[in-house]
Structure 1
Amino acid sequence: MGDLVACEDVLMFVNAAITSTGQREFHHYAGDQRLSLAFLHEYMLANYRELYAAALALNINDHNAVLIVRNLLVYASEVPLERRRAEGRLIAARLRLLPPQRVLRMFRDLRQVGLNNRRTRAIIQEWMASRPDPAFDAVKYRGVVKDVVRHAHLSPPGGGVTRGELGAFLFAPHSRRAFRTPMFETWRRAHYEQAALYDLPYTVAEGFAAKHGIPRKVFLERIEPRMTRLERLRLQESARGHKAGAVAADLSGMPLTRLATYVLSLSLDDRVERRDELTGALRAAALRAAGSLAGRWGRVTAVLDDSFSTTGSGQKRRRPLAVALACHHLLRALASDYTPLWLSGRADELLLYPFGPSPLGERILDALDTGPERLVVVSDGWDNAPPGLAAEVLRVWRTRLDPHRRVAITHLNPVYDADDFDVRRLAPTVPTAGIRDAEDLPTLVELARFAEGRVGLDDIRAYLDERVALFTGSGR
C-alpha cells in the first residue's frame, strides 16, 4: 500500500509539473493554481526528495523546473554530500536548457532569501561561465545580471568580454569613454548614435528607438536581422499593421505546439487565405516531432477537445486548443491509419475555435466504433454533455467489452486541476497524463502506463534512474 501511495504521489506531481505554470486556467484563478502547486512542491520535497529532484530529467515545464532547482538549493543543509552532488549534476544539466532570463531571475531570488553558500556560488559561476556570449547577456539582461554578479562575487568571465569591463559596464557604464568589448561599446554609442542601436538585441534596441523617436515602421524593417524566430513570430502581424513587410516569421522550423498556437491566433479569414502555407508548416513540424516513429503506431483514433473551455485564460489564451491541434497533426504523422474526432463535429481543423459543450462520452463511443488499436483522448476532462457519460462508457468498455486491453486507451490532459492537485481524469480504468507540448506525446503515452496501477514504485524508480542517467550524461 505504501508503494502504491508513493506511485500515485509521484505521478500526480509529474502531471502538475508538466501542465501547471501557476497562471489562471479556464476553471481556476491564478491564486488557486499557485497555492495548489506550492503545496505539491513542499510535499514532494519533504517526502520524496530524490524522486523530486529526478523530475528535472523529465519533460516538465520551465516554471516548475525553476521551482525545483530553487527548493533543492534552499533546503539542502541536512542532505548528504553524495546526494547533493547528484542533485548538482541534475541542476547543472537543467539550467543549461532553461531560458537565460528565467535562470537569472531565479539567481536573483536566491539573493532575496539570503542564500549565498559556496555551493550556490559555484553553480552560478559555472552557469555564467558556460554562456556562449556573456556580453550579450549583460546587455540584454543588464539589471538582473548586475544583481547576480554582486550577489555571487563572480570573477570576470571570458567569451569575448575584456577583463575588467563587465564590472564597469554593469556598475558604472558612463564612467568610460570607450569599451574594448564590442557589444558594450555598441550599447554606449547607441545612446547618441542611431545606427548603433541596430547592432543590439531587439528588446534593448526597442528602448533606444523610442528614445531617438525613430518611426516604428523604419525600426522594424532595420532591426529584423537581429530578431529571434519567436520575436519575428510575435511581430509578424504587428509589422503588417505598420506596412513593414520585411518582418516575416519563418514557419518552416517552428516547433509544433508553438506553431499551432500561432495559427489559432490568426483570424479565420487569414487562415483561409494562408491555408496551404499553414497546413504545410504544421504537417512538416509534426513529421519532425514524430521522427523515427512516423507511421509506426498502427490504427489510431483521436478524440480531440475543441469545446468552449479550450478558450483557456488571458494568460494561456487558447492553449488547450493549441495542444489538441498540435496532437492531431502529430498523431496523423505517427499513425498508419488515423481518424480524428473533434467534440464539435467539425472536420476542418484549420478553422477551429473554442465553441460548445463537451460530449466526450458520445465521441468516445464513436471512436471505439472505428476499431482502433490505439485511442488517444486530448481533453481537459470536463465531461458535461451529459456529465459522467465518458467515465461510464470507459468503465463498461474496460470491464466487460475489452478486459484484455486489446485497445490501448490514453487520456492526455493539458490543464491542471488545482482542486484535485492533479489533471482531471476521465475514468479510473484509463491512464491519464498531463501534457504541455504535443512534441512530448510519445513519451507521455509511455509514462501514462504507470498510472494504470500495474507497476510499482521500483519500476518508477528504475524509469527515473534511466532518464536521469541519459539527462546528465552519466549513462553514456
Structure 2
Amino acid sequence: MATEESFGDLVAADDVLLFVNAAITATGQREFRSEAGEQRLSLDFLHSYILGNYRELYAAVLALDVNDHNAALIVQGLLATAGEATAAQRRTEGRLIARRLALLPPQRVYRLIRELRRAKVNNRRTRAILRDWLAARPDPALDAVKYRAGLKLALRHTHLAPPGAELGDFLFRPARRSAFATPLLDSWRRAHYQQSALYELPYSVAEGFAAKHGITRGTFLEKIAPRMTRQEQLRLQESGRRHGAEAVRADLARMPLTRLAGYVLGLPTDDRVRRRAELTEALRAAARRAAGPHRGSWGRVAAVLDDSFSATGSGQKRRRPLTAALACHFLLEALAAEYTPLWTSGRTDALLVHPLGPTPLGLRIVDALDTAPERLLIVSDGWDNAPPGLAAEVLRVWRTRLDPDGRTSIVHLNPVYDAEDFDVRRLAPTVPTAGLRDAEDLPTLVGLARFAEGRTGLPELTAYLDERTRAFLDPPAPATTPVPEPLPEDAR
C-alpha cells in the first residue's frame, strides 16, 4: 500500500510540475511549431485537469513566477468554481488571488473581468475580490481615462457605484459637464477639440487623439515623450529616431534584462555593432541587478545556448526563444565565477546572434562538459536535430556512466511550450527540464528543477509550494529603491 501511495505521489508531483512548466511558458499564442488554436486547446485542458484534481496546488501556483496569461486563467478558474472549495480553501485562495491581482498589469485585470462577465461568474466572492482591487487602484482618474471601457464594465459587473460623482459622470454621462475639476479628466474632454490638451494625456490615450487631429507621427512622438512610461520609451525609441523625434529616448540602464535583450535583438546588425559598448554595458548592468546577492557565487558555469532557426519564434512571439537565451547568457555571466558560453551556431559574439541553421545540441553539450563545469545550463526549445537524438544519448551516458554522483549539475531551461505533449520538450529523462519565460526567473527555476528529476514526490513539492506561498503572501518590506513602473499593455 505504501508503494502505491508513493507511486501516486510521484504521479501527482509530475502532473503539477507539468502544469507549472506550461503556466510559465505558454500564452495561447502561435509558436514556431504549433498554431495558436493548438496552444489554447492544450492549455485549457491542463487548467481543467489540474483544477479538478489538485485544487490546492493549482491555487498555490499563483505564488510562482507564472506568466500573466496563466495567472489570469487560474484566477478565473478558481472564481468560477468557488462552490467546489471548502471554507479553508476559499480563505487561502482569496488571499492568493488578491495578491496576484495587485501584481498583474491593470489592463490584464480588466480583461479578466470581461471574461468573468462573459462566463457569467458573478458570485459574492468574485464581487468582493474585484471590489477590493478597484478600491486599491492608486489613481481612479487615470484608470477612467486609460481603461475607460474596462472600468465601466467592472463597475457594472460588481454592482458598484463610481468613486465620486465627477468620475461617474465622466464614465457614464460625459456630456453632462462642461468641465471637470480633475485635471486629467478635463484634459481628455478638451483633447477632443484642442490639440495641445492631448499632450497632457497618457501616450496610449493620446495616440488616438493625434490620429483624429491629423498630427504627424514625428511631431506627436516628440511632444508626447515626457508622458511615456519607460517601457513605451524603449518600444518606441527606434520609431522616434526614424521620425526625427529625438526626445523619445529610453534609459537603457534601468530596463529589465529580458525586455532589454528583446530590444537589442530587434535592432539591425549595423546598429548593434555601432552601439556595441552602450548595449553591452546596459545588458551587463541589468544582469547584475537580476543576479543580486548571488552574483559570482555559482562557480564554474557552462551554458549551451540555442540560436538555431527555430529560435525565430513566431509572428506573435517574435524571437522570443532567442531573447530568453541572450538574456540568460548575460545573467549567467553575472552569476558565474568562471563562465563558458557555447551557442549552437558556433558564434562567439553574443551581441550579434540571430536565428540561423540547425540545432546541434549534442555536440555543444560535449564541448561544454569538456570544460568540467560545476553547472551546465542548456537554454533551448529541445529540438535536437543535428544529428537527432545525440543530446539525449550524451546526457544519458554522462549521467549514468561518467558522472553518476552528479558532480556536475545539469538543468535544461525551455522557453517554448509543446502543445502536443502538454509540456515543454525534454532532452533526456536523466536531466531536469523547467519552463522559462524571463531570464530574471532563472535562479528560482534552477531550484525548482530538482523536483523534475522524478525522484521527489508530492510531500516535498507541497512543502516547497507552501513555502513559496508564505513568501508570496507576506513579502519583505519594500526597499528604498524606486518602485518599477507598470508593464505596458503588450507585456508578458
* TM-score interval for Structure 1 and Structure 2 normalised by the shorter chain: over 0.9
Q: Which amino acid in structure 1 is aligned with residue 281 of structure 2?
A: G
Shift of 1:454: 2.5
TM-score between the two structures when normalised by the length of structure 2 = 0.94
CA contact (8 A) 1:76 1:84 kept: yes
Cα distance in 1 between the residues matched to 2:18 and 2:121: 30
Equivalent position of 2:86 in the other structure: 80
Equivalent position of 2:112 in the other structure: 106
Instruction: Write the mapping of 1:248-287 to structure 2, written as runs, cut at 5 A.
Output: 248-287=249-288
Unaligned stretches of 5+ in structure 1? 158-162
Cα distance in 1 between the residues matched to 2:22 and 2:61: 11
Shift of 1:156: 3.2
Instruction: Write the mapping of 1:117-128 to structure 2, written as runs, cut at 5 A.
Output: 117-128=123-134
Local SS of the residue matching 1:247: coil
Q: Which amino acid in structure 2 is aligned with residue 118 of structure 1?
A: R
Q: Which amino acid in structure 2 is aligned with residue 214 of structure 1?
A: I
Moved over 6 A (4+): none
Local SS of the residue matching 2:120: coil
Q: Which amino acid in structure 1 is aligned with residue 85 of structure 2?
A: V
Are residue 96 (structure 1) and residue 102 (structure 2) matched? yes
Are residue 4 (structure 1) and residue 38 (structure 2) matched? no
Equivalent position of 1:372 in the other structure: 373
Are residue 131 (structure 1) and residue 140 (structure 2) matched? no
TM-score between the two structures when normalised by the length of structure 1 = 0.97
RMSD, aligned α-carbons: 1.1
CA contact (8 A) 1:24 1:314 kept: yes
Are residue 301 (structure 1) and residue 307 (structure 2) matched? no
Local SS of the residue matching 2:342: strand
Q: Which moved more, 1:76-85 or 1:345-354?
A: 76-85
Cα distance in 2 between the residues matched to 1:239 and 1:165: 36
Equivalent position of 1:396 in the other structure: 397
Equivalent position of 1:155 in the other structure: 161
Cα distance in 2 between the residues matched to 1:250 and 1:79: 47
Q: Which amino acid in structure 2 is aligned with residue 469 of structure 1?
A: R
Cα distance in 2 between the residues matched to 1:367 and 1:214: 55
Equivalent position of 1:347 in the other structure: 348
Cα distance in 2 between the residues matched to 1:287 and 1:39: 39
CA contact (8 A) 1:469 1:475 kept: no
Unaligned stretches of 5+ in structure 2? 1-6, 478-492
Cα distance in 1 between the residues matched to 2:432 and 2:181: 59
Local SS of the residue matching 1:252: helix
Q: Which moved more, 1:109-118 or 1:319-328?
A: 109-118
Equivalent position of 1:226 in the other structure: 227
CA contact (8 A) 2:155 2:162 kept: no
Q: Which amino acid in structure 1 is aligned with residue 133 of structure 2?
A: W
Q: Which moved more, 1:447-456 or 1:313-322?
A: 447-456
Shift of 1:319: 0.5
1:265-302 Cα deviation digits (max 9, x unpaired): 00000100110110000000000000000000000000
Shift of 1:78: 2.4
Equivalent position of 2:487 in the other structure: none
1:87-135 Cα deviation digits (max 9, x unpaired): 0000000001100001011112111122222211111111111111111
Shift of 1:33: 0.5
Give the share of equivalent positions with the same residue, in percent.
71
CA contact (8 A) 2:95 2:473 kept: yes
What is the total number of aligned residue pairs between the two structures?
Answer: 471
Shift of 1:338: 0.4
Cα distance in 1 between the residues matched to 2:76 and 2:397: 45
Local SS of the residue matching 2:304: strand
Cα distance in 1 between the residues matched to 2:406 and 2:250: 45
1:22-66 Cα deviation digits (max 9, x unpaired): 101111111111000000000000000000000000000000000
Equivalent position of 1:292 in the other structure: 293
Cα distance in 2 between the residues matched to 1:284 and 1:455: 37
Q: Which amino acid in structure 1 is aligned with residue 249 of structure 2?
A: A
CA contact (8 A) 2:233 2:248 kept: yes
Shift of 1:474: 8.3
Local SS of the residue matching 1:77: helix
Q: Which amino acid in structure 2 is aligned with residue 122 of structure 1?
A: A
Cα distance in 2 between the residues matched to 1:334 and 1:474: 24
Local SS of the residue matching 2:122: coil
Are residue 26 (structure 1) and residue 27 (structure 2) matched? no
